[in-house]
Amino acid sequence: MLLLALDTATPAVTVALHDGERVVAESAQVDARRHGELLLPAVDRVLADAGVKLDAVTAVVAGVGPGPYTGLRVGLMTAETFGSALGVPVHGLCTLDGLAYAAGIEGDFVVATDARRKEVYWARYSGPRTRTTGPAVDRPADIAEQLAGLPAVGAGALLYPESFADARGPEYVSAASLAALAAERLAAGEELEPPRPLYLRRPDAQVPKNYKVVTPK
Amino acid sequence: MADSRDEPLVLGIETSCDETGVGIVRGTTLLADAIASSVDEHARFGGVVPEVASRAHLEAMVPTIERALKEAGVSARDLDGIAVTAGPGLAGALLVGVSAAKAYAYALGKPLYGVNHLASHICVDQLEHGKLPEPTMALLVSGGHSSLLLSSDITSDVRPMGATIDDAAGEAFDKIARVLNLGFPGGPVIDRYAREGDPNAITFPRGLTGPRDPAYDFSFSGLKTSVARWIEAKRNAGEDVPVRDVSASFQEAVVDVLTRKAVRACKDEGVDHLMIGGGVAANSRLRALAQERCEAAGIRLRVPRPKLCTDNGAMVAALGAEMVARNRAASDWDLSADSSLPVTDPHVPGQAHTQAHAHSHDHVHEVSKDNLYS
Ligand SMILES: [Zn+2]
C-alpha cells in the first residue's frame, strides 16, 4: 500500500506519503493564498524525498474540507485527476477528522477551523477517531454554550478565545495525520467517503435586481 | 507518418467562465470537443455566478476529460502535451482547470502549457480553416470580451488594437434581453427576434464612431442605456414594445460598429484576413454584415462554426498544439491561474525554460486577494 494524501482545506498546503505502516515523506507549507501554486511542486518534492514516482501510488486520499472553497477545490481537483490518470481509487476524509486524529485527545473535544466571515467550521469528537456532531459552520458565540468546557483544537478555536476557553493546537491539518487515519480505516476494512467537497454554505449568488431604471422619474 | 512535432496530439482544458471544456486535437485536426455547461444554473441569476461555475467545473472535469479521450479514440499516454487556459477569466474557475491540467500532465509525464484564453479564441480557427494567415486580424466578441487583436504569430505575438472601454458586446445583448424580459443568455434570443424585425426601425447610437474617437475601441454602454430608455418610454406611454424591431435595431447598432472598425483596422494595417471569434460570432447578422463588408474591401473573412466560437477546450488544445509545434517553452508546475493575464502573453512559459519572463503589466493575482470564497 502506498497512499498519497493531500489537504488544501486550511491555510496549510500539505502532502504526505504513507506505506500502510508509517509516513514515509511529508510536506506542509502555510500560505492561504497560494494553494494552486504550491500543491503540485509539493507533491513532486514528497515523491522525490521518498524516491518513488507517482505511478507507485495505490490510492489517493484528499481532505474534503470543510474549508474556504477556492483552496479546497485545488486539492480535490488534483486528487481526482491523479486518480483518473493513474487508475487508482480516490478517497475523501473530513479535514476536521484529520485534525482530531492529530490532536489525539481521549474524551470529548471540539475541532474548529477558520471559516472566515466571523464563523468557524467545527465538529465535536469523542476520542480522536469518533466524530459525534458536525461538521457545521457557525458563529463561535452561537455554539459556545453547548461546547463550554471542552478542549478545542485548531486555528478556529485559537482565533476566538472568548468562545473557546481551552483552545490549543495543532492549528492546521497535516496530510500525514490524514494519511495515517486513512491507512488505519482502510486496514480495518472501513469504507472511506467519496472525494466530494464539504462546502456547508450555498454559493453566494446575488440575483441581479431588476434592470436599472435609467429614465429619471 | 508525420513527425509528432508537426502534428502534436494535445489535450486542452478550458474553465475560464461557465463552460467546462476539454478538447483534443492532432495539429490542426479536431478529434474531440467535449463540453459540460453550467449555463442553466446561472440563467435564473441573469449572469454567470462565479462560485456556481467553480463548483460545476470541479464536478464536471474528470468525466469531461474521460469523454473527450473516448470521443477522440486516443490514449492519454500518446498525448504530446496538456494545455490549459491560465487566464484571463474568473479566478476561482480558472484555478479548477489549472489544477486538473497540472495533475494530469504530471501524472502522465507530459509537458504543461498554460495558455491565453483570447489567443485560443483566435487559434481555434486553424481547426476549421487550416493554418492562420500571418498576420491575422481578429475580432473577439463575447459576454466577457470585445477586442480587436493583430497577431503575426499566435504563439508569441498578439497585439491589442482596440477593446471595449465599458461593456463587452455580449454583455450588452444580455442586458437588453433582460430589459425585454427575454431571459439569459441574451445573444441567441435577440438574434432570433431580430430576424423578424426591421433593423432600421429605430436609430440607436453607434458608440465611439465620431471623427475624434479612438478608431478601434468600442463602447456599448451608451447604446445599452439608449435602448433601455427607449423601451421605458414606450412602456410609460402604455404602448406595446415592438420586441422584434427593438432587437433588430439594437443588434444592427452593435454589429455595424464591430464590423466597421474591424474592416478599418484591416485596411489601415494592410491585413487581408479577418477572423471573428467569441460567442457573439455566432450572431447571424454579425456574420452576414462582416461577410458583406469584407467582400467589398477585398478581405478574406474566417469565422469558425458557432460551437468553436463559444468557449471550449478544443481552442485551448489548438493553441497548445501550436506551442508544441513551434517548440515554445512549457509552463512550470507552479503555474498560476491569472485572472488578468494580459492579451500580449499568448502563454505562460516556465522560469525553468526561459530567462526571466518580463511580466510588464501590473496585474493582481485575483486568487491572492481576500476572496477565497468566490
Ligand atoms: Zn471566451
> What does the pLDDT look like over A87-136, one tens digit per residue?
999 999 999 999 999 999 999 999 999 999 999 999 999 999 999 999 99
- Each residue of B346-363: pLDDT tens digit? 999 998 644 444 443 333
**B367 contacts A207? CB cut-off 8 A:** no
Q: What is the mean pLDDT of residues B249-264?
A: 97
User: Which among B135, B172, B186 is positioned nearest to B257, based on CA atoms?
Assistant: B172
> Is A93's Cβ below 8 Å from some Cβ in B?
no
Q: Which residue(s) pair with B157 in the sheet?
A: B153
- Each residue of B120-133: pLDDT tens digit? 999 999 999 999 99
Confidence of residue B325 (pLDDT cuts 50, 70, 90): very high
Give the model's pLDDT for residue B144. 81
CA of B15 to the centre of ligand 1 (A): 10
Tell me which H or E stretch contains B246. Answer: helix B243-269
Describe the crossing of helices A69-86 and A35-50 by its angle, rounded to 10 degrees: 40
Residue B117 annotated as lining a ligand binding site: yes
How many CB atoms are located within 10 Å of the residue B139 CB? 32
Give the model's pLDDT for residue B106. 98
Residues with a beta carbon under 5 angstroms from ion ligand 1: B 142, 311
> Is A203's Cβ below 8 Å from some Cβ in B?
yes
Residues of chain B above pLDDT 70, percent = 93
Question: Taking 90 as the threshold, does the pLDDT of residue B191 lie above it?
Answer: yes
Residues of chain A above pLDDT 90, percent = 91
Strand bridging mode A3-7 / A59-63: parallel
Chain B's closest residue to A38, CA to CA, is: B334
Task: Render chain A in DSSP notation, one character per residue.
Answer: --EEEEE-SSSEEEEEEE-SSSEEEEEEEE-TT-HHHHHHHHHHHHHHHHT--GGG--EEEEE--SS-HHHHHHHHHHHHHHHHHHT--EEEE-HHHHHHHHHT--SEEEEEEE-STT-EEEEEEESTT-EEEEEEEE-HHHHTTTTTTS-EESHHHHH-TTT-TTEES--S--HHHHHHHHHHHHHTTPPPBPS-----SPPP-PPPPSPPP-S--
- What is the distance between the terminal CA atoms of chain B, rounded to a whole angstrom? 48
pTM score: 0.92
Residue A11 is which amino acid?
A: P
B37 three-state secondary structure: strand
Give the model's pLDDT for residue B47. 77
Give the model's pLDDT for residue B352. 66
CA of B339 to the centre of ligand 1 (A): 13
Q: Among A61-65, A101-105, B211-215, B356-360, which is the least confidently predicted range?
A: B356-360
- Rounded to the nearest integer, the mean pLDDT of chain B is 91
Distance CA(B221)–CA(B294), nearest Å, equals 26
Question: Taking 60 as the threshold, does the pLDDT of residue B224 lie above it?
Answer: yes
Chain A's closest residue to B77, CA to CA, is: A85
CB pairs under 8 A between A and B: 133
Instruction: Determine the Cα angle at B129 with ends B127 and B133, to 5°.
Output: 105
Chain A contacts of B103, Cβ < 8 Å?
40, 77-79, 81-82, 85
Best of A4, A44, A81 to mutate (most B CBs within 10 Å, chain B): A81
Q: Which residue(s) pair with A92 in the sheet?
A: A62, A193
Question: Taking 80 as the threshold, does the pLDDT of residue B5 lie above it?
Answer: no
CA of B312 to the centre of ligand 1 (A): 8
